[in-house]
Amino acid sequence: MNKIGLYINPSKSHSFENAKRVVKILKDNGVEVYGAENTKVEMMETGIMIDEKKMFSESECIIVFGGDGTILEAVRKMGKNHIPMFGVNYGNLGFMAEVEENGIDVSLDRLLKNDYAIEERMMLDVEIDGFDSEEHGFTALNDVVISRGANTRLIDIKIYGNENLIEEYRADGLIISTPTGSTAYSLSAGGPIIEPSNDSILVVTPICPHSLHNRSIVLDANKEISVFAESKDKNLIVAIDGQKFFEMNQKPIHIKKAVSTVKLIKFKENNFFEILRRKLSERI
């Protein structure tokens, strides 16, 4: 690799210390390194090129220093380029972050030797009536969440698949999740865990449904999903990967499987369920 970008969450402890060490190793191996504008002050003496636009368009790999939220942020800023990336976990669970802090050196060595695999993750294209999706880039790796925001009233929700009514909910909100996002908010709301490599299904999970029988539904990802939500308070909120927030104003949302994918670099031989058991047991 000749060009590598570093996307760093400046709020994480030790992230800059490790990032500077990574820069030295990369530059000693003749790699050109890019950084983002928000790290200019901390990284200015390392000799990296501070140019976020080039980083997300010309890099052959992005190394993310942060948790899964930082990875989601990097995916959003990358847009349609979908450069392979891996995360150094500084978050809590870090299901997407491939490398722990003590494994940076080994992983970097394997990266430079091209000793890794790439796992592709399904994404969702999202259209909200009244918003320009081309301009805003509505693509979700984890989930699309419709909620009542600060409203006190429950939301009446209808969800359709290929124009056929699937279910009606009266709830605080609704989560439409990819397999990758099944271990995020959807899991907290009682949704099932799906292997993230699965690209054929998505999960619909109500948030605090006002019913004893409403449960999550697993749908064919090739269905085009439409969600209609109503509330007397009107100003409903839609969140895309917890990164972008919009007032729906009772406009319908249309969701379908994206053509593009996110490419995650994998070094470990551990399978998903080994990681899942370890990560969730850490929270007990």
Active centre residues (catalytic): 68
Supply the angle between the helices 15-28 and 104-112 in degrees, to the nearest 10: 30
The CA distances from residue 262 to 74, 157, 205, in Å, are: 11, 30, 23
Rg value, the chain, Cα: 20
What single-letter DSSP state applies at residue 183?
A: G
CA–CA gap between residue 128 and residue 49 (Å, rounded): 37
Burial class (CB in 10 A: 0-12, 13-18, 19+), 59: buried
Structure tokens at 196: 């993230």
The CA distances from residue 53 to 41, 50, 77, 140, 279, in Å, are: 18, 9, 9, 21, 34
Exposure on the CB side of residue 28, measured as CA atoms within 13 A: 8
Q: Is 227 helix (H, G, I), strand (E, B) or coil?
A: strand
Structure tokens at 133: 């999706």
